[in-house]
Structure 1
Amino acid sequence: MARLPKDPENFIRTNTALEAPAMVPEFRLWLASEYVPIWQATEAWLEEQNVDPPYWAFCWPGGQAIARYLLDNPSLVAGKRVIDFAAGSGVSSMAAARCGAASVVANDIDRLSLIAASLNASANGLSIETSGEDWLAGAPGSPEADVVIAGDVCYEREMSVQALAWLRSHAEKGRLVLLGDPGRNYFSAQGLEERGRYEIPTTLQLENRGMRETVVWRVLPVS
């Protein structure tokens, strides 16, 4: 895997601004205002074409919903080991840390995402760990955790199948598993229990509507 160019922190700060997400105004994150410019800037900085979309530069509805739900129900993660799958900007990880989790690991296979998540946590006086491992390729129910959170992971068919199977493997071990989803194409509510529902303002730069009804689901073990 190629090394990131020098000073990724400066790249993030230069091409984003500290903004408060609509559903979690308690936080300020390094976010981009438009999609195309940050993608083009990322390609230029990496000196590559067709790079992975800079999902880390936006606070997606699923992550905001998880963050809001945790902030309103802090006892769910207080004193617990929390892992955040496909963490993106890290907003859900930050909420878990703010609620007093014993440890929080933000995971993403995009290394720039992990740097952005760390910068976001630092900007809010929080501390999180990061992991770039491909958790879907590991053993079911790993790594160890008390609470597993994930937001907006059902964009693609194969990814959705793998992610939901991995999340359910944690539920089978008796862990609290929460998934935030705004009705993505490959999402299925089968075997899930609704825990919270939110209307989240979005931008037409990213979504096909100005508001996204987003649900926090608990992933249940197979009965």
Structure 2
Amino acid sequence: MTAEAEGFIRAHTAVARAPLVPEIALHLATEITPIWQATEAWLSRANIAPPFWAFAWPGGQALARLLLDEPARVAGRRVLDFAAGCGIGAIAAARAGAARVEAADIDPLAIAAVRLNAALNGLRVAVVAEDLVGAACRWDTVLAGDVCYEAPMARRILPWLRGLAAAGAEVLLADPGRAYLPREGLAPVRRFLVPTTRELEDREERAVTIHRLLP
């Protein structure tokens, strides 16, 4: 399915750069409706999720900006970009000098997008096409952007992420004001204003706070 997925991505995206992270080139959708419609056939036959991978979401952009601005945070470290989407966080970590970068997503189109985007930037990222929730900690830094938008997902992943923090990982949670962000156990790291569009959000920029998740 890899070649077919990569062909789909090339056919329905254009190479572009996220406004907060112009250093990184990505295969991105230019409009939301056409990519959503194009994905419907995949949804019906392969249980593919909506094309979240086709956009550089505010949380991912903020994490990538942080790592490019402060490469010492991940240089020489083992990094996981959880629910990676387009892989912008993973690519930034690799560019910042991480020893090993893994990008995990359960959507095969997202996995293909990460491969294409990493190659586009001449960087090495290991893709993990499986649900890692519950896995033992093997990382020094874990990136999680825009993961608190649905209650079931937040309830499922936050205990695991806190467990990773308890095991010694630095868990960086980037959130642009989603409804299910926890109200405690967070240490603010940095805040960014991220340009967005009204096609994706209800405003033209999002204030994203990156938190360190406490055990």
> What's the TM-score bracket when you normalise by the shorter of the two chains?
over 0.9
Distance 2:117 2:18 in 1: 12
The answer to whether residue 121 in structure 2 is matched with residue 127 in structure 1 is no
Residue of structure 2 equivalent to 1:195: 189
Distance 1:6 1:27 in 2: 23
For the aligned residue pairs, the C-alpha RMSD in angstroms reads: 1.6
Displacement, 1:36? Answer: 1.7
Q: Which of residues 155, 160, 163 in structure 1 aligns to 2:154? A: 160
Instruction: Identify if the C-alpha distance between structure 1 residues 20 and 121 changes in structure 2 by more than 3 Å, giving closer, same or farther.
Output: same
Structure 2 unaligned regions, length at least 5: none
Displacement, 1:162? Answer: 1.7
The answer to whether residue 22 in structure 2 is matched with residue 28 in structure 1 is no
Instruction: Identify if the C-alpha distance between structure 1 residues 9 and 208 changes in structure 2 by more than 3 Å, giving closer, same or farther.
Output: same
Q: Give percent identity, aligned residues only.
A: 53
Residue of structure 1 equivalent to 2:105: 108
Instruction: Identify if the C-alpha distance between structure 1 residues 135 and 50 changes in structure 2 by more than 3 Å, giving closer, same or farther.
Output: closer
2:96 alignment partner AA = C
Q: Which of residues 191, 209, 212 in structure 2 aligns to 1:218? A: 212
Displacement, 1:189? Answer: 3.6
Residues 160-179 of structure 1 mapped to structure 2, 5 A cutoff: 160-179=154-173
Displacement, 1:48? Answer: 3.9
Structure 1 unaligned regions, length at least 5: none
The answer to whether residue 142 in structure 2 is matched with residue 144 in structure 1 is no
Asked if structure 2 preserves the Cα contact closer than 8 Å seen for 1:5 and 1:46, the reply is: no
The answer to whether residue 92 in structure 2 is matched with residue 98 in structure 1 is no
The TM-score normalised by the length of structure 1 is 0.92
Residue of structure 1 equivalent to 2:52: 55
2:57 alignment partner AA = W
Q: How many residues align?
A: 215
Deviations 1:37-74 (A, max 9, x none): 10111123565498521000000000001111111111
Residue of structure 2 equivalent to 1:206: 200
Asked if structure 2 preserves the Cα contact closer than 8 Å seen for 1:43 and 1:49, the reply is: no
Distance 2:121 2:82 in 1: 21
Displacement, 1:9? Answer: 1.1
SS in structure 1 opposite 2:147? coil
The TM-score normalised by the length of structure 2 is 0.95
